[in-house]
Amino acid sequence: MQERTLIRAIVFLTTVAWVGVVVARGSKLDISLLSSFGVVATIVVALMALFDRFLWRLPVIHRAFSRTHPLVRGTWPGQAISSRRDKPYDGYLVIDQTLSRVSVRLLTETGWSETLASRWGRSDDGNPAIFYIWRRYPGLAGSGPDADEGKLGFIPYGAGVLEICGDSPYVLKGPYWTSEQQMGQMQFEGRDPGLCKSFADAEVLFAGRSIG
């Protein structure tokens, strides 16, 4: 929705500016020209939406964005280490990405998280990084790595930084913090371009592959 609002604003301001220039020059405002401008604006909006969602990912075009917006869309297997646990636990990071936005979703045996806000930036090492805030929801099973805590989905809110390291194929890693005064580290590698909807789907997709 954010990109649609931006596109509409651009089209509106462009129309106002065009009308202003015509009036300032003392030219007659031809209604037929306005009709043609509307057609052109519609085409531009469609092309902008197509570029934002798909075209920017084409190798020949993506070179211009690779340093600031590396292509990380897909499902990433990996592990997380929590300050409340002695051993790391498995999870899958699902990243949905267009040129204008990015969302991060973590899938584990005990639940999943959704992105509330996110943006691209730079890590302390100068690498591209995703800064995001998320909310966690409990899953249906109680046999996952947090089951012995006695409460499913005990992490309601949190924030994290995902640093994109190296050249493609990338490694994603970084810290996270939660509103339950918990912190930890995550690392993911071995991306599959598909977007899994559940932990079970990811388990099937990566069956036979090692995690971490």
Q: Evaluate whether residue 83 is within a structural domain.
A: yes
Residue 14 has pLDDT above 80, yes or no: no
Residues facing 82 on adjacent strands: 184
Are 104 and 201 part of one and the same domain?
Answer: yes
Report pTM.
0.79
pLDDT in tens, 125-146: 999 999 999 998 886 433 333 4
Are 38 and 89 part of one and the same domain?
Answer: no
Arithmetic mean of pLDDT over the chain? 84
Q: Tell me the residue range of the domain where 185 lies.
A: 74-205
The total number of structural domains that make up the chain: 2
Are 84 and 170 part of one and the same domain?
Answer: yes
Among residues 164, 161, 187, the alpha carbon closest in space to that of 89 is found at 187
Q: Evaluate whether residue 118 is within a structural domain.
A: yes
